[in-house]
Structure 1
Amino acid sequence: MKNLKSIAAGLCAALVMVGCNVSNTAKGTAIGAGGGAAVGAIIGKIAGNTAVGAAIGGVVGAGTGAIIGSKMDRAKKQAEAVKNAQVQTITDANGLEAIKVTFDSGILFATNKADLNAESKASLQQFATVLKDNNECDIAIFGHTDNTGSDAINNPLSKKRAQSVSSYLKSQGVSASQIKTVDGQGSTNPVADNATVEGRKQNRRVEVYMYASEQMIKEANAEAGK
């Protein structure tokens, strides 16, 4: 247990060190150097992103992390140009760089609805181009609600919102095989205080994760080994 705590503390420090003003390529190298799916799972848990990441097994080396980090740099820059999208670099369950794109449901949906409005469709049309241009990435889509109402309402509503986004992206040419997860998490993962109007608005959201597919990891491993 002591060793695990020491590892976790060291990884936390590493995440802080690589989190500021460093490209994904550099961060990918640092994370990849940590090695392996086990270490990646610890980092993913700290970052809260164990839900995303291809099931690969084995070790992810520094070279692989750098190659994937470079690809994610490019994807992030493209996603940042999408209207109404908030873009963050996160770490997936393999300890590799991934992209989290958040869309407010205040922009995407009317209250208690899962229907996309015209402005939302325009943003998602832009975003679909990013996903198609980065078709090596797998995609996970999660819907969220605030804590107004019961789980019996919020859980299916959050999933319907995720499904609306998924369906529209596919209508814009994103491959169904690229979208690996479409689910709702109800009000279980707030990002702001549900006691305030502004906080509840932030919690009503859809998150789209772009992360390295198994094929991307295999190709990066092969390239790193040359």
Structure 2
Amino acid sequence: FEYDPATGVSRFNGDLLFSSGSDEIRSEGAQVLREFAKIMNQPEASQLHILVVGHTDSQPVVQPSTKARHETNWELSAHRATRVVRALAVDGISEPRLGLAGYNQYQPAAPNSSDSSRQLNRRVEIYILAPNAQIAARPIESAR
């Protein structure tokens, strides 16, 4: 996986964690997540929050076996993020520190124009956040 210290984002290639169209974590991916959890359970990181974000490529879900579990890429991206959150919780990360989102195909890392670029878009990103990080710059005013 890749870690960008400037943004606090860890990016996991989707093919490392999951087989195509699946939300079952592969054994190689599970080992990487265990190592990540060990780091995040260290005393100096134990107060940090973790946001897991699932992404897909632009190819629609078409295989009947996949479609039975994930009707669209919305479900697939969210289910993959959910599996990662559950794995991190099993590996000892406190659930109140965890959050998740699924972005489908709508935040690509590369154009969806070739197999190799679509592979880059099938990914899970893990954002490491300070416990008091503001998600929005200012509160939304209520409509009157």
The bucket for the TM-score relative to the shorter chain is 0.7 to 0.9
Runs (4+) of structure 1 exceeding 2 A deviation are none
One-letter identity of the residue aligned with 2:22 = K
Pick aligned residue for 1:143 from 44, 54, 79: 54
**1:213 and 2:131 equivalent?**
yes
Q: Which runs of 5+ in 2 are unaligned?
A: 62-69, 135-144
Residue in structure 1 matched with residue 106 of structure 2 by the alignment? 188
CA displacement 1:131-184 (0-9 Å, x = unmatched): 1111121111100000000695100100000001000011011100111x2110
One-letter identity of the residue aligned with 1:195 = S
Greater relative CO (CA pairs within 8 A, separation 6+): 2
CA distance in 1, matches of 2:108, 2:52: 16
| Larger gyration radius, structure 1 or structure 2 | 1
Which runs of structure 2 are paired with 1:69-84 in the superposition (5 Å)?
none
Pick aligned residue for 1:198 from 116, 138, 141: 116
CA distance in 1, matches of 2:71, 2:124: 19
Residue in structure 1 matched with residue 141 of structure 2 by the alignment? none
Deviation at 1:89, TM superposition (A): 2.7
Q: Which runs of 5+ in 1 are unaligned?
A: 1-84, 92-98, 218-226
Residue in structure 2 matched with residue 124 of structure 1 by the alignment? 33
Residue in structure 2 matched with residue 162 of structure 1 by the alignment? 81
Q: Provide the TM-score with structure 1 as the length reference.
A: 0.52
Residue in structure 2 matched with residue 25 of structure 1 by the alignment? none
Residue in structure 1 matched with residue 5 of structure 2 by the alignment? 89
CA distance in 2, matches of 1:114, 1:183: 14
Could you say what secondary structure the match of 2:41 adopts? helix
**1:100 and 2:9 equivalent?**
yes
Could you say what secondary structure the match of 1:102 adopts? strand
Aligned residue pairs, count? 124
One-letter identity of the residue aligned with 2:57 = D
Which runs of structure 2 are paired with 1:106-117 in the superposition (5 Å)?
106-117=15-26
Structure with the higher helix share, 1 or 2: 1
Deviation at 1:186, TM superposition (A): 0.3
Could you say what secondary structure the match of 1:141 adopts? strand
**What is the RMSD computed on CA atoms of the aligned residues?**
1.8
One-letter identity of the residue aligned with 1:142 = V
Q: Provide the TM-score with structure 2 as the length reference.
A: 0.81
